[in-house]
């Protein structure tokens, strides 16, 4: 069985790059253009890992992580979250970690960093 990865980014280009980078892991990629839509999808579809941008219009990635961690459904609340950030400062990473993010990837996203980070959080049965 393939793992589902939810990619949350307001940029279709970034979502496409992530999909291309993760093709070799043979995952099912689900896309959301914003955090509100992502939270809706998480109630409907089982997801193994979430990759979310920090800087999104409306609800940002840190608020999204807080909302996800507060979800009443344990299978949603416990999903590993990898945040993408273009910011170099440690403050944003600290705020993300405090919110409950599991990992961070610096933009521009590196193919190696993305696949290795995602692989760490996949269920062991996945390829």
Where exactly are the structural domains of the chain? 4-121
- The alpha helices in the chain, defined as continuous H runs, are 12-22, 35-44, 61-69, 74-77, 90-99, 111-121
- β-pairing verdict for 28-32 and 49-53: unpaired
At 88 the pLDDT is 79
80 pLDDT tier (thresholds 50, 70, 90): very high
- β-pairing verdict for 81-85 and 103-106: parallel
Q: Which of 124, 123, 84 is nearest to 101 (CA)?
A: 84
Tens digit of pLDDT for each residue in 11-69?
999 999 999 999 999 899 999 999 999 999 999 999 999 999 999 999 999 999 999 99
4-121 homologous superfamily: Response regulator (3.40.50.2300)
Kindly give, in sequence order, each residue whose CB lies less than 8 Å from that of residue 117, ignoring residues fewer than 6 positions away: 82, 103, 105
Prediction pTM value: 0.95
């Amino acid at each position: 069985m393939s793992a589902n990865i939810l990619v949350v980014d307001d940029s279709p280009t970034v979502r496409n790059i992530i999909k291309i980078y993760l093709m070799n892991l043979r995952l099912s990629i689900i896309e959301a253009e914003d955090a509100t839509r992502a939270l809706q999808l998480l109630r409907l579809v089982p997801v193994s890992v979430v990759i979310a941008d920090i800087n999104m219009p409306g609800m940002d990635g840190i608020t999204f992580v807080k909302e996800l961690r507060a979800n009443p459904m344990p299978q949603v609340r416990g999903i590993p979250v990898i945040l993408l950030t273009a910011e170099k400062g440690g403050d944003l990473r600290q705020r993300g970690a405090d919110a409950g993010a599991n990992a961070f990837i610096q933009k521009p996203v590196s193919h190696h960093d993305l696949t290795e980070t995602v692989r760490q959080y996949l269920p062991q049965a996945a390829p």
